[in-house]
A and B are shown apart, each in its own frame.
Chain A
């Protein structure tokens, strides 16, 4: 347990548990680097609990993802490819520092405070809204097979381009987000 969570351990997501076999076969262990993502920049920052992983996502090179989420995204890409679709991501991690930079620059701000993007646990497919219904369905199925949830079920406003994994549904994500930002900072300081 890192020092960030000493005072509020009840809000911290537990370290990833070993994956359980599914109908799709064994999913990669969280500590393993993703297999299908570009691996040239893969690094992890093992500090106990959840870690961050540097990956080159299609369309988003130089991204950082939660170490439990990254293999799921890898599987998502693979399953989509099996269905005949090469997906590209328009957005992945957005640390608070990145949000602040966007806000200060005037480039366009989203007042995100509890976003799973800030914890490296969400990705967006920007072209999704222009896909055919059958392609949308294929990609949603690929995400579901990979263990991801779809933002199209959000209420009041569905977010159809958004795919995520929430390890602490319904709970405050502040510590999750702070931990991820710290993990990313450590990775960046090594590079």
Chain B
């Protein structure tokens, strides 16, 4: 009986979660920085990603729809690393509920995107081309100074030495 209740509550919860409007999953701020950038002491390189979510509530030019709870346009600044901070990409993200896709197509990689899930506190995602998982925590006080990498791939706790 107990297991049936747990199973039933799981089903109900997933239905509710799937029908929540996008704004319930996204951070409330206009600009929110998510990052797992950290300094790799073995190589001297900066590793990780930074994604800045920009809630601008613009109209979609392609669909000509006004923004609403269901049709908000969310842009991101996507910044990988290449030893140091790499040039950021600015693009329209595709978000449904807490699922997102960030198109990163280039001539060399026409199908490349970054996909995953977003909440107000964390982004968990992968490139569409492989299975390496990234976990980016919300940065409440973002700066361009970085702590060392832990073996989990996340920054150490000591902030901005």
B83 touches A117 (CB 8 A): yes
Point out the residues of chain A lying under 8 angstroms from B14, CB to CB.
none
CB-based nearest B residue for A161: B82
Point out the residues of chain A lying under 8 angstroms from B109, CB to CB.
127, 130
Interface of A is mostly: loop
Q: What's the minimum C-beta distance from B38 to chain A, rounded to whole angstroms?
A: 7
A159 touches B42 (CB 8 A): yes
Residues of A97-119 whose CB lies within 8 A of B: 102, 106-118
A112 to B44, CA, bound (A): 5
- Tell me whether A151 is interfacial, beta carbon within 8 Å: yes
- Tell me whether B150 is interfacial, beta carbon within 8 Å: yes
Partner of B146, one of A110, A132, A154, A156: A110
Point out the residues of chain B lying under 8 angstroms from A111, CB to CB.
39, 161
- Tell me whether B130 is interfacial, beta carbon within 8 Å: yes
A112 to B83, CA, bound (A): 11
A156 touches B149 (CB 8 A): yes
B130 touches A126 (CB 8 A): no
Q: Which of B40, B85, B86, B146 has the most CB of A within 10 A?
A: B40
Point out the residues of chain A lying under 8 angstroms from B47, CB to CB.
157, 159, 161
Contact with A along B78-105 (1 / 0, CB 8 A): 0011111110000000000000000010
- Tell me whether B144 is interfacial, beta carbon within 8 Å: yes
Point out the residues of chain B lying under 8 angstroms from A136, CB to CB.
130
Answer whether A130 and B127 are a contact pair too, CB < 8 Å, given A106-B144, A156-B150: yes
Partner of B82, one of A102, A124, A132: A124
A106 to B40, CA, bound (A): 19
- Tell me whether B65 is interfacial, beta carbon within 8 Å: no
A162 touches B45 (CB 8 A): yes
A141 to B71, CA, bound (A): 46
B83 touches A116 (CB 8 A): no
B130 touches A132 (CB 8 A): yes
- Tell me whether A72 is interfacial, beta carbon within 8 Å: no
Point out the residues of chain A lying under 8 angstroms from B127, CB to CB.
129-130
CB-based nearest A residue for B151: A156
A94 touches B149 (CB 8 A): no
Contact with B along A81-101 (1 / 0, CB 8 A): 000000000110010000000
Point out the residues of chain A lying under 8 angstroms from B85, CB to CB.
107-108
10 closest Cβ pairs, A-B complex: A126-B82, A115-B44, A90-B82, A91-B83, A156-B151, A112-B44, A157-B149, A124-B83, A154-B42, A108-B144
Would you give 28 A-B contacts (Cβ < 8 Å), ordered by A?
A90-B82, A90-B86, A91-B82, A91-B84, A94-B44, A94-B84, A102-B84, A106-B144, A108-B84, A109-B145, A112-B39, A115-B43, A117-B43, A117-B45, A118-B44, A124-B82, A126-B81, A126-B83, A130-B104, A130-B112, A130-B130, A155-B42, A155-B151, A157-B40, A157-B149, A157-B151, A157-B153, A159-B43
Not counting A113-B44, A114-B44, a sample of 17 additional A-B residue pairs whose C-beta atoms are within 8 angstroms of each other reads A90-B83, A91-B82, A94-B84, A102-B84, A108-B144, A109-B146, A110-B44, A115-B43, A117-B44, A126-B86, A129-B132, A130-B130, A151-B43, A155-B42, A156-B151, A157-B38, A161-B83
